[in-house]
Chains A and B, each alone.
Chain A
Amino acid sequence: MTKYVIKRVIAAILTLWALVTIVFFLTRLMPGEPFTNPKLTPQVIENMTKYYGFDKPLIVQYFQYLGNLIHGDFGFSMKYTNKTVNYIIGQTFPFSADLGIRALCLAISFGLVLGILAARKRGTKIDFFCVIIAIIGTSIPDFIMGALLQYFFGIKWGLLPVALYKGFEYTILPATALAFYTLASVSRIMRASMLEVTSQDYIKTARSKGLSEARITVKHQIRNAIMPVMTILGPTVASVLTGTFVIEAIFAIPGMGKYYVESVNNNDYSMILGMTVFYGIFLVTANLIVDILYGVADPRVRIGKK
């Protein structure tokens, strides 16, 4: 077990290093310069280039960046002068995380419930309803979903706040919009896996032992059926995260996602790098935890053996 964990951690660190290196050189390959104000004179550009150290050889800049990174220093943003990338992440990440966690909870809890219900009541109207939800969720892009939810619930019917993020009622629409896709895929997978489990021998055994249906569902079916759902948790975290890029813009949430998109469009090198590395650390850690959890939870995954 310890060996497995150590191995995973080393892989995670290597992943992060690869990420930093790839992104560092990719940003420098991007067309354009980070100084994009149309009113800059050549003299001003020269001064700014010197100020940010872009006049040094690329490789020197790279090692300098790595050095700063080890100390957790992402440097100053180029667009939002006077603000460090660390400060901006510190300001914006809590919003993204809050939104993401809400969406994940919504997606997983409702997804599981819908999946279980659909499987238990297979072929009935409830099943049909659950399948419809799953279909809608997986076939509408989240930016359309977000705009529609905002338009109908916020603007047209005035039931919920249109935008901003200042309290519980403000979180409902963006969290729902963000959760929908994941919710749908969780419910689909759960339903399929429940149905698959139903035909397994141990369920038949349990039934022949005379256990109640409810007990069978809870004790045997759900427990076993939930494994495949766990495997998609890692990718799910990633998809919720990227979903925040558009949802935050639509609902005017001061989160990190829209800063990321904006920094890419502005060639704000230090922001792109800092935020990518931060996302990377976050996702790699999430994957690592899911991997380890999965190893712990499923006895069939033999840790330490190929």
Chain B
Amino acid sequence: MKKRLLALAMVAVLIIGVLASCSTPGSDSGSAGGEKVFRYAVNTEPTTFDPTKGNSIGDNEIQHAITEGLTRNTGGEVTPGIAESWDISEDGTVYTFHLRDAKWSDGQPITAGDFVYSWQRLVDPAVSSPYAWFLDTIAVKNAAAVNAGEKDPDELGIKAIDDKTLEVTLDQPMTVLLSALGMQSNLAPIRKDIVEQYGDEFAATADKNVYSGPFVLTSTENNLYVFEKNPEFWDADNIKLDRVELNYIEKPDTQLAMYENGELDFVRLDNAVVENYKDNDDYGIYLNGNVDYCYINPDSDNPVWANKNFRLALNYALNRVEYNQLANSGLYNPYNALCFPGLSGKDGKTYGETYDVDSYAYPMEGDVAKAKDYLDAAMKELNISDPSEIEIEFVTTDAESNKKIAEVLQEQWQNALGIKVNIRQVTYADIYGEVYPKFDYEIGYAGWGPDFDDPTTYLNLFRSDINWYTPYGNKDFDAKLDAAMKEVDDPDARMDLLNEAEQILIEDGAWVPLQARNQSYLLSPKMKDVTFYSFSINIDWAYADVAE
């Protein structure tokens, strides 16, 4: 009997020992009292901490806190960053930046050479940054040629005159340059000696990099990213937070539960639960600048897509209000044009306030009668006698929300026009790796996130010489855009030209706009000065504060 008890006790100890051993990998680091801490979560994991290779809003948000560009853009307000001041040449193509005495987190001075190295690294084909194209987008001289390996990195339009003076040369004037410099962290400075020290593993973990921004990254382990105030930062006196903890938590439900338990100070809400939180005091919405479209491939084998009337029929048949209700539970804003209405327009007003979009865009609730007229015209031109002979294929990813969108569109188009809509679902890797790059589709759903605060970030999608999603091209449209880019002196005239370009696309049925996105969130009332922005950065807490 004794022996048996002993054996039982041993087994019990063993089991309890294994189960209760507190050596779970990565134990809590607990925060000291009196610290100002901000804790939040994201549902996609940051892909990299290398400023050059950052390629998503999530990556950029992190970089925004740990790097300092030539300027700093806080929610659209551009203030001097590492550059104390700058001069712009007469024709708007040469910028000369005068740098302040700023330091890296290890105490070394930040020099003009750090920027030159960073920009050259961005377009270096051997580094193969996913965002290498960005320098070309903001018209930095020779960016495309260097990236293609046709020109030497030294020929890139950025020169260090001396340690404190930097000269950037553009192919054409870029009004958004200063704003982009402040929020696109691919353009932040990088230390050459650190990159050379760690090679391919540069910035793989927090200790393999040095930081120029208001915060330093101190840990990236176990899906918890810890930021601590950078005492060497030039404007450290105005940085209020001591510590920021960013958790990567995949399920929005889990995030929400942690917020409610007081373990997080900010969460984005899943559409499924918004209705239950809409009336809370800590509820808020930000516009993230994403506009969702159906891209059209006019070069597809199916002849209907080259037909303007057919494309217009689809656009007029769509009741975007009902669509939004069904596909998004009414949480987004149905949208009928191309450019995000929150862009800066004229005289300090937004783009949406400057122009009466509804007067030229498709009717929000659709116009089935008009759609049928367009369809009849299209059928006549295509020698089709019955709408049921028209069969189109709609491609989308297999994500749950996209599936719903595809099904709603399918229902609406089939009911209104009597055509047949097939849905082709492909994986995420397939749609962005194969289907769109090779134009292997007829019509497909995808969003567009803007890169900077200017209508061109949307309009460029449809240029004949840019084939991101769609091979669409239109000479009138190209000409309008070119005219706008040449208009340096009068920003208002430029804006009007861009707006006319957008109208050309709408009249031609170049694509099917669906919705402008927004994001619902809960933010702890004790947090102050957290900024939301629509371009490349959604949440900006660099200058945030915690109320006592």
Contact = CB atoms under 8 A, between A and B. Distances in A.
B520 to A, nearest CB: 19
Interface in B185-229: 200-204, 221-224
Query: SS class of chain B's interface: helix, strand, loop or mixed?
Result: loop
A51 B126 CA distance: 7
Contacts of A40: 130, 133, 437
Contacts of A80: 45, 47-48
B139 interface: no
Contacts of A44: 128-133, 147
Contacts of B28: 166-167
A32 B427 contact: yes
A47 B48 contact: no
Contact of B247 (A33, A42, A50, A164): A164
Interface in A257-298: 258, 265-267
B20 interface: yes
B200 A150 contact: no
A166 B26 contact: yes
Interface string A148-170: 00100011001000111111101
B272 to A, nearest CB: 13
Interface magnitude class on chain B:
35 or more
B541 to A, nearest CB: 21
B250 A252 contact: yes
B277 interface: no
Interface stretch (A98-106, A191-199, A224-232): A98-106
B446 interface: yes
Interface magnitude class on chain A:
35 or more
B492 interface: no
A81 interface: yes
Interface in A24-40: 30-40
Interface stretch (B70-78, B252-260, B370-378, B521-529): B252-260
B126 A98 contact: no
Contacts of A94: 25
Contact of B19 (A36, A50, A102): A102
Interface string B12-35: 000100111110111110000000
A244 interface: no
A147 B250 CA distance: 13
A117 to B, nearest CB: 14
B147 A98 contact: no
Interface of B: 4, 11, 15, 18-22, 24-28, 45, 47-50, 53, 55-56, 125-133, 144, 147-148, 200-204, 221-224, 247-251, 253-254, 257-258, 260-261, 263, 426-437, 446, 467-469
21 contacts: A31-B434, A32-B428, A32-B432, A35-B433, A36-B428, A40-B130, A41-B133, A44-B147, A48-B128, A80-B48, A82-B200, A87-B204, A101-B18, A147-B253, A162-B257, A163-B254, A166-B26, A168-B19, A168-B24, A254-B223, A267-B433
